[in-house]
Amino acid sequence: MEQQNYDAIWASVVEQVKTHADVNPSQADAVLARLTLQAFSDGFCIVTADNAFMKGWVEKNFLDHVYRALEELRGVPFTVVLDVDESSAPQTAAPAPRPAAAPQADQGATDATAAPVKAAAPAPRATGAAEGFLNIPNPFARQTAEPEPEPQQEAAPEAIAPEPNDAAEPEAPVAASPTSSMTFSNFVIADTNRIAYEMAVSVAEKPGRAHLNPLFIYGKSGLGKTHLMRAIQNYIQETQPHLKTVYVDTNELVAGYADATAARDTQKSSYKHFKAPYESADVLLVDDVQILERKPGTLDIVFQIFNKLTDNGKQIVLSADRAPKNIDMDERYTTRFNRGGTFDIQPPNVETKVAIIKSYIDEFRLNEGDETLDLPADVQAYIAEVSGSNIRELKSAVTILFMRMKGFHTDTVSLAEAKSLLENHFTGGPSRRVTPEDIQKQVEGYYRISHADIIGKKRSRDIVLPRQVAIYLIREMTDLSLQDIGRLFGGRDHTTVMNSIEATTKRLHENTQFREDLDTLKGLVREALS
């Protein structure tokens, strides 16, 4: 059977998988399109992924749906062999990755004054052993948004339409976005960001493919969304320099729209000038699109740009601090934002944060030219345990400690000194130790159940779910043993506690909304402590 027929068969399987109620269609499109049907007959097929990670991810999240879709389409049960064919990975002229020097003055992704740094292209399909994030922007850099113009100031349709005499107008400076030091090579991969990383690399290798257009990456502030977007930009600029990439923070879009509105009376083409740099892009990366909430003027003109680019096969990459469905804007916008691949980045666990801290230490060693620079293991562990989800704060904590060592001409810092220096540093960290009672109280309030119910014997779903959540959070946020946790919930044994933790962990991997609920609960617990 010719490959084109295999492609058509596989496309029909993907479409069938997308009809399943418990499948995210955009994610199915993005992931399953990375697979290749190699052999097919009734009851049997061979499918290959281009790397082991993608194979494992499909096995865990989609293989059961593939079995089901094949049987639904063909009417017979199927045996599916899923293997790895690395030769099918997209090929590029990318140079071998090289270590990136830490920036001397990286003032954040939107700081146009930062010195450009030549970007190292990634090793495509990398699944690096180290886990963390590097070269996070300065956490103290401030960004301010211009006020959104009143809706009645929006341009009339004729003012937005192209004007014949404007073809030679110069483009705004934003089109020449500076190259940052954020690359795929220095983005350290963890389970919490791996799939978003894979999809970002896929877009960088071959921008414009429908199943990843737009690519939408979301997660809380400081988890690496901007890093991935800048890495896409850097990779394309180095490996496909004929393509024009434009990165813009949404605050800049809002300010630019305000300027165009203000100039409209004297400059009829102001809206066209505003849009021109973005509409001429081959790859447009827009950071923090949640800022467009309740800004109908800017949102409408951004939507025009979005439609023009995607209709012409140009790549859009978007980021936000939440999923498209949770951004307060008209459904026609969120539907389009969610049309391609939508992937989240979750906060790193303690082990990953320790690895990130080690990577920052390596960065400081390189900057200072001093291989002896280090922080004691107990200090590293302390920073990882008390810090919140914002990875930027890890780097600033390491910076504070190294500056203290430098100022006092010492080559180490004690745990007591670190605790004193960082006592009020972490916005997401607790100001006092979390207790099981704190967690139970917040879970009870969130799910509107009584304390008697959460520790009692009732097994209805509206009680079991909050009970499992409370058990999971106590295990994660305190150092209590399984037996001690069981005693807090009516004397349950450690096996029951473990089952609750496993059930919650499984639900976390499968349900994005549930992950967001747990993030909210963690925030409520920490806020109650401050």
CA separation for the pair 61, 31 (Å, rounded): 10
- Nearest CA to 314 out of 230, 467, 210 is that of 210
Sheet containing strand 215-218, edge to edge, reads: 245-249, 283-287, 315-320, 215-218, 341-344
Running DSSP on this structure, what letter comes out for residue 104?
S
- Nearest CA to 415 out of 393, 385, 383, 373 is that of 383
8 A C-beta contact, residue 271 and residue 300: no
Phi-psi region of 11 (alpha: psi -120 to 50; beta: other; left: phi over 0): alpha
Give the tokens for residue 174. Answer: 């934003």
Residue 285 backbone phi and psi in degrees, to 5:
-115, 120
- 325 marked as binding residue: no
3-class SS at 293? coil
- 226 marked as binding residue: yes
The count of other CB atoms within 10 Å of the CB of residue 100 is 21
8 A C-beta contact, residue 310 and residue 213: yes
- Nearest CA to 100 out of 113, 123, 126, 119 is that of 119
| Residue burial 465-489, b: 16+ Cβ < 10 Å; e: rest | bbbbbbbbbbbbbbebebeebbebb
8 A C-beta contact, residue 53 and residue 194: yes
- In the chain the first and final C-alpha atoms are separated, in Å, by 65
Running DSSP on this structure, what letter comes out for residue 249?
E
- 297 marked as binding residue: no
Sheet containing strand 44-49, edge to edge, reads: 36-41, 44-49, 79-84
HSE-up of residue 52 (Cα within 13 Å, Cβ side): 3
CA separation for the pair 286, 402 (Å, rounded): 34
8 A C-beta contact, residue 201 and residue 122: yes
- 457 marked as binding residue: no
Give the tokens for residue 119. Answer: 């970007």
3-class SS at 37? strand
3-class SS at 24? coil
What amino acid occupies position 51?
A: N
Give the tokens for residue 297. Answer: 């003027």
* Binding site as annotated, residues: 222, 224-226
* Binding site as annotated, residues for ATP: 222, 224-226
